Structure 1
Amino acid sequence: MDADGSGARAAGLEKVDDFGSNPGALSMYRYAPEGLPAKSPVVLVLHGCTQDAAGYFEGAGWQAAADDGKFAVVAPQQEQANNINKCFNWFQPSDTDRDKGEAQSIKQMVDKTVSDLGADPSRVFITGLSAGGAMTASMLAAYPDVFQGGAIVAGLPYGCADSTAGAFTCMNPGVSKSASEWGDLVRAADPDHSGARPKVSVWHGTGDTTVAPMNAEESVKQWTDVLGADQEADATEELEGGTTRSDYTDEGGDVVVRSYLVDGMPHGTPVKPDQGCGTAGQYFLDTICSTSHITGDWGLGG
């Protein structure tokens, strides 16, 4: 993307300045479909390493999804000054703790959008790929009062690492903990929280050699523990693209965690261009339209 943001504008995004103190020094981009009514939902989409806001917004098909579902999209962008590979710093507590660093910057983007657009603060959702997926987990842990749902794509469990070296170990081969150990990390992120928590879906390719597939299993352990489900799936369904969807329900019978495993898929976001869902390319893999399933799970389909 050009320094003036023209690449983002070409993708339908507009740069938003002055959205707060921005302690994480991120850039904010936003898309609001024409005629968007007040009290509409907001979806945050976090790009992966080496990517930018415009590339992820376009590649994963978020403009079409927003037009169809009538919601605003906020696309935070990492800058190279913060991370040489433009990864969100999901492994640094100074960037993932509540009201600190990048996490606080992203929260300020939510507040700015709710204020500017009259959006519905009770319908805010977040998703991301890879480092963006790990940052999604961090936001769900640190701000359970802000998000109604989240989708972690080729990401990692919250709290897996607190250093660069630890981050690489978490990515591959991965780190195993008990469900309660993972859950305790989330609960400690906002110990004063006692209300409802966002529902979570976990997406991963079984052929991912960048972020090992075991991270999907560990994420499911983490979020089922947090959301009051056990580790045994209550329903399993085969979808297109070699995708297996497993549902985990709480005591009330609500699906609180969903796992989508795409057989043989390497590292990336699943898309389906022939269905009008995204564009195939590096880290955008033609298997299944994850964006439509994610918005469907959130009740945001058109």
Structure 2
Amino acid sequence: MRNISDTLARLAALRAAAPGAGSEAIPSVLDTLEGFGTNPGALLAKYHVPAGLGPQAPLVVVLHGCTQNAAGYDHGSGWSALADRAGFAVLFPEQKRANNPNLCFNWFMPEDTKRGGGEACSISEMIGAMLLEHDLDPARVYITGLSAGGAMTAVMLATYPELFAGGAIIAGLPFGSARSMPEALDRMRGHGGPDGKALAALVREASGHDGPWPTVSIWHGTADHTVAPANMDLIAAQWHGLHGTGAAPHGVEKTGNHTRSIWRGGAGGVAIERHEIAGMGHGTPIDPNGPDGLGHAMPHMLDIGVSSTALIARSWGIADTGLAQTAGRLLRMIVPAAAAPVAAEPQGTMQRAGGVQKIIEDALRTAGLMR
């Protein structure tokens, strides 16, 4: 067991490295959700519903990291901006300092990570209120988060799996890997904890769920010194057992420093994605100057030319009618009909300089869809 001085030193290091310093001052488009339930975890709830959103739209739940708030993470990631373009609602649970001085979700505390209690229950109540008040589609609820928010995403997928069609865990940790602050700090460093089979059993025991499991997208940088990249593999191992896949991926594609591995479930669709970003530190990968123009670079919102927000939304099928199709329509307008057809490229393979890509980018700027 770690002694108290070692634990305090690790906490100080975590505080110094935590994402989102100064996010309290960022202007926000988010509204406050009031009276959403018993709220045993004493959380706040922020949300954004695009003007004119039709009935039965999807809902994305977004969990910020330590020292961040909802407005800061929204500004950095661009989720509300994408919601306006693609037509879905966004819910941002928000931590309070009274619960955690560093504004971390308490993903390692047993009372906050069980079905029917604590922060996990509060988040489930927010989701229920959003579905009812805004006539959203209960079959298309998704969740994502960074760091402690990523670990809390894993908690929600385990304790309330029936609520979610899919989840995306960014620089997070597997559910059930820690049950105290000292254990949490060790797991963040990649030390100790249950193995993959035991981790899968913890998820099964968390809810008694007997239906289909949510899909899982896992994102991590290889140079993350806050949450060790070993946790990426542990999360994948936890969900291999649940989705009945083997350890070897069914496909791997690499674009620059971004490697995506996929595992297909019993129905043939992608059940698990693993996104490894070579050389990236602790944070959410964004691409504010790319084709989607989402997010803003700030502490632990990392401009590395990969928009996790856009790619996650597209993997869930909730942004397919956004900029990707707009770009195709603009391209067909600009390229003469007699020109050779342009083959669709996989996610992330387009290069920014020259040729067809420059035509698309110029057209998007002209249309006001890209800076």
- Structure 2 length-normalised TM: 0.78
Structure 1 partner of 2:83? 66
Counterpart contact for 1:140–1:150, Cα < 8 Å: yes
- Whether 1:164 and 2:165 are equivalent positions in the alignment is no
- Whether 1:77 and 2:85 are equivalent positions in the alignment is no
Letter in 2 for 1:172: R
Deviation of 1:253 after TM superposition, in Å, equals 2.4
Structure 2 partner of 1:232? 248
Residues 77-98 of structure 1 show CA distances to partners (whole Å, capped at 9, x for unaligned) of 0000000100000001110101
Structure 2 partner of 1:292? 310
Letter in 2 for 1:44: V
CA–CA distance in 2 between the matches of 1:45 and 1:184?
26
- Whether 1:256 and 2:271 are equivalent positions in the alignment is yes
Residues 215-261 of structure 1 show CA distances to partners (whole Å, capped at 9, x for unaligned) of 00111111111111111111001135x11000011243221000000
SS in 1 for 2:163: coil
Structure 1 partner of 2:349? none
Unaligned runs of 5+ in 1: none
Deviation of 1:17 after TM superposition, in Å, equals 1.2
- Percent of counterpart pairs with the same letter? 46
* Aligned ranges 1:92-241 → 2 under 5 Å: 92-175=109-192, 177-191=194-208, 193-240=209-256
Letter in 2 for 1:208: D
Letter in 1 for 2:259: T
* Aligned ranges 1:6-21 → 2 under 5 Å: 10-21=27-38
Letter in 2 for 1:270: P
Letter in 2 for 1:223: W
State the Cα RMSD in Å. 1.6
Letter in 2 for 1:253: G
Letter in 2 for 1:266: G
Distance 1:89 1:212, change over 3 A: same
Corresponding residue pairs, total: 296
Letter in 1 for 2:248: E
Counterpart contact for 2:178–2:193, Cα < 8 Å: no
Counterpart contact for 1:174–1:215, Cα < 8 Å: no
Deviation of 1:176 after TM superposition, in Å, equals 5.5
CA–CA distance in 2 between the matches of 1:114 and 1:208?
36
Match of 1:31 among 19, 36, 48: 48
Counterpart contact for 1:174–1:214, Cα < 8 Å: no
Residues 131-157 of structure 1 show CA distances to partners (whole Å, capped at 9, x for unaligned) of 000000000000011000000000001
Greater Cα offset, 42-51 or 224-233: 224-233
CA–CA distance in 2 between the matches of 1:230 and 1:246?
13
SS in 2 for 1:132: helix
Of Structure 1 and Structure 2, which has the larger fraction of its residues in strand?
1
CA–CA distance in 1 between the matches of 2:25 and 2:71?
7
Letter in 2 for 1:38: P
Greater Cα offset, 226-235 or 264-273: 226-235
Counterpart contact for 1:19–1:109, Cα < 8 Å: yes
Counterpart contact for 1:269–1:285, Cα < 8 Å: yes
Letter in 2 for 1:210: T
CA–CA distance in 1 between the matches of 2:193 and 2:183?
13
Counterpart contact for 1:243–1:263, Cα < 8 Å: yes
Deviation of 1:14 after TM superposition, in Å, equals 0.5
Counterpart contact for 1:42–1:73, Cα < 8 Å: yes
CA–CA distance in 2 between the matches of 1:22 and 1:251?
37
Match of 2:69 among 37, 42, 52: 52
SS in 1 for 2:162: coil
- Structure 1 length-normalised TM: 0.95
Greater Cα offset, 107-116 or 177-186: 177-186
Compare CA radii of gyration and give the structure with the larger one. 2
Unaligned runs of 5+ in 2: 1-19, 323-371
Deviation of 1:11 after TM superposition, in Å, equals 1.9
CA–CA distance in 2 between the matches of 1:32 and 1:24?
24
Counterpart contact for 1:176–1:218, Cα < 8 Å: no
Greater Cα offset, 105-114 or 250-259: 250-259
Letter in 1 for 2:44: S
Q: Greater RCO between the two (CA within 8 Å, min separation 6)?
A: 1
Residues 27-60 of structure 1 show CA distances to partners (whole Å, capped at 9, x for unaligned) of 0000001110010000000000000010001101
